[in-house]
Amino acid sequence: MIEKIDSNTNFKKYLARVVSAFSIFTLLLASVPVSPVNAAQLTSRKVTISSSAVSAANTTYTFNFTPVASTAIKSVNIDFCTTASGSCNPVTPTGVPAGLTTTGAAISGTPSGLGTGGTWTGTFTTNGRLRISNASSAGTAGAATIAFTGITNPSTTNTSYFMRVTTYSDAAYTTPIDTGTVATSTANQITVSASVDETLTFCTGVSGITTSSCTGATGTSANLGSLSTSTTGSGTSQMGVAANSNSGYAITVAGTTLTSGSNTITGMSSATTSAQGTEQFGMNLVANATPSVGQAPDGAGTATAATGYATANNFKFTSGDTIASAAGADDFRRFTVSYIANIANATEPGSYSTALTYVCTAMY
Amino acid sequence: MKPVRVTRVFFGLLFAAAGIAAGSLPVVALSSPNYSIDEDFVGGGGTVNSSSPSFSARDSIGAPVAGDSESTNNKTQSGATTDGDPMLEFSVNSSSVALGSLLPSLTRTATSTFSVRNYTSHGYVVQVVGSPPSNGSHSLTNMATAAASAPGTEQFGINLVANTSPSAFGANPVQVPTSGYSFGVAASGYNTANNYRYNSGDVVASAPKSSGQTDYTVSYIANSSTKTPAGSYSGTQTFICTGTY
């Protein structure tokens, strides 16, 4: 309909009709959906992965989101994509991150917040797509958590990838409720390395060794004095030791018993007490009362005297014996070696001595 | 008054109404209980889409101001047009860190770096997962609480800030391009100079809101004691970034 308006009055009337028609048309447009209504956006959504390492097997993916609609959710579809939007279809497959494997996935725990009732079952036959459904889900949906295990991460490092989440009001994945995309990324793993060199600190002396250091060690001889059948000769020496050997260490003693020419004082082949009037030469590594000599091992370490050399007032000497040991790497430990000697009436006079050698062997 | 072809007015208004209904014209952001427009523009900036069967272009002109505002339920980003899709760029720029030979008298140090960019989010957290360096059954003792380096005491720890002890090393998080756009920070326990800590699963960095790029430097220290077993130590750490959208 085309008309010419040739008077102001008619023009005003006609213009009023046109404006009215426009208004009605606009209202009609507003009342009719003008395009398909998209599902609402899931809020507070994230995915937490247990590992960002490339190709990490059996990775756990935990999805959290809050639905906009409180409608009970009966199925959820999650597609893994290289982009947040645009072409992505795991069925084709198109746009699925390289190296990703989801066909071994399983639901971890029980999904929560989707609704109540029934049991959720998963479908993981299409790589890049996680699906769970529960036809009996009812009630109200809220803040949701769904976790999956058994996923192998994509194979490209330092690369983002996306998971497009859609919830449905039916168990057949046909009627969407809400959607939302979350992002995560693979990343280089960092291997931190260091080395610790092998160490062994071992010293002997008569004095000067402290509970933490060999620095002041001095002296090479322990004088047991003049022996008689009614007195027990005694003396001490020291050892300090520390080792970072993972399997610990052992200290052995080697040498002869006290000797004067061809004469000897009998070594104590088994741990026994001091017996005046009987030829004896022995040692131990603890504090004694009879005779009063020696002191217990001390220092930050935990190494101990060996069997036979660890009992107060009991002494022993057998060349080659292990006299102290540690089971593992050990801090500094100070040992005091107590020596005793007794003679019998038949003991030949003379000057008796021996050179003892202590050897520390660490096992790294 | 000169006669007017009113039909032109009618169809002009008609097309304008249809255009508004179809959303083909720029509109001011709107929302109602049922509808919302996630991203929109006001003023001269904005997106212009062009396409042909073979090519497409998406352009935006600059905006005079930029910035973010956020509440519990709503968030806006002002400035040149950004994509509404979730966006996360997370790059760990090293694959190995060598601390060298440990001595009871000396602290060994090293660094690595990673970067995070996380737009259109409500922020992110970065966790570290993994065991301290180990040798067989023995692991270097992790610093469960933040503490200073103590040579002679077995320790393994990290932080994400610049340090002066045991030496000048490390760096504070760097906001790229500026702190007006990027908001990543080191997390508590890992944000104090000269204090180090390491617990697998800890959050070591985070941003409280949508953030541009933040470059982080991870500072590592290791100390051995006299009884730290000899041998080669290694451990693998994985950094995991989780953005909330």
Q: How far apart are CA A54 and CA B2, in angstroms?
A: 76
Least CB–CB distance from B242: residue in A41, A48, A160: A48
A251 versus B119: which is more confidently predicted?
Answer: A251
Least CB–CB distance from A46: residue in B102, B229, B245: B245
Residue B11 scores a pLDDT above 70: no
Average per-residue pLDDT for chain A: 92
What does the block give as tokens for A220? 């090479």
- Secondary structure of chain B in HEC code, one letter for each residue: CCCCCHHHHHHHHHHHHHHHHHCCCCCCCCECCCCECCCCCCCCCEEEEEECCCCEEEEEECCCCCEEEECCCCEEEECCCCCCCCCCEEEECCCEEEEEEEECCECEEEEEEEEEEECCCCCEEEEEECCCCEECCEECCECCCCECCCCCCCEEEEECCCECCCCCECCCCEEECCCCCCCCEECCCCCCCCCEECCCCCEEEEECCCEEEEEEEEEEEEECCCCCCCEEEEEEEEEEEEECC
Q: Give residue A39's pLDDT.
A: 73
Best of A7, A32, A192 to mutate (most B CBs within 10 Å, chain B): A192
Residue A82 scores a pLDDT above 50: yes
Q: Give residue B71's pLDDT.
A: 54
Residue A65 scores a pLDDT above 50: yes
Q: How far apart are CA A64 and CA A134, in angstroms?
A: 18
Q: Give residue A19's pLDDT.
A: 54
Q: How far is A331 from chain B (nearest CA, A)?
A: 5
Least CB–CB distance from B95: residue in A1, A83, A189: A189
Residues of B in contact with A182 (CB under 8 A): 86, 243, 245
Q: Give residue B24's pLDDT.
A: 35
Q: Give residue A271's pLDDT.
A: 98
Least CB–CB distance from B112: residue in A25, A84, A190: A190
Q: Does domain B89-243 have CATH number 2.60.40?
A: yes
Q: What's the pLDDT band for B85 if we cut at 50, 70, 90?
A: confident
Region B106-120: what's the mean pLDDT?
Answer: 95
- Per-residue pLDDT of A277-311, as tens digits, reads 999 999 999 999 999 999 999 999 999 999 999 99
Best of A43, A55, A195 to mutate (most B CBs within 10 Å, chain B): A195
Residue A25 scores a pLDDT above 80: no
Chain-chain contact of B133 with A193 (C-beta, under 8 angstroms): yes
pTM over 0.80: no
Region A113-121: what's the mean pLDDT?
Answer: 97
Residues of B in contact with A55 (CB under 8 A): none
- Per-residue pLDDT of B51-74, as tens digits, reads 444 444 444 444 444 445 555 545
Q: Give residue B203's pLDDT.
A: 98
Q: How far is B45 from chain A (nearest CA, A)?
A: 23
**Domains parsed from chain A with CATH numbers:** 40-185 (2.60.40), 200-362 (no CATH)
Region A196-222: what's the mean pLDDT?
Answer: 97
Chain-chain contact of B237 with A189 (C-beta, under 8 angstroms): yes
Residue A36 scores a pLDDT above 50: no
Residue A152 scores a pLDDT above 70: yes
- Percent of chain A at pLDDT above 70? 90
Residue A20 scores a pLDDT above 80: no
Q: Give residue B52's pLDDT.
A: 47
Chain-chain contact of B85 with A181 (C-beta, under 8 angstroms): yes
Q: How far is A236 from chain B (nearest CA, A)?
A: 27
The region, left, alpha or beta by phi > 0 then psi within -120 to 50, assigned to residue B217 is beta
Residues of B in contact with A160 (CB under 8 A): 87-90
What does the block give as tokens for B62? 């600059």
CATH 2.60.40 intervals, chain B: 89-243
Q: Give residue A138's pLDDT.
A: 97
Residues of B in contact with A181 (CB under 8 A): 85-86, 245
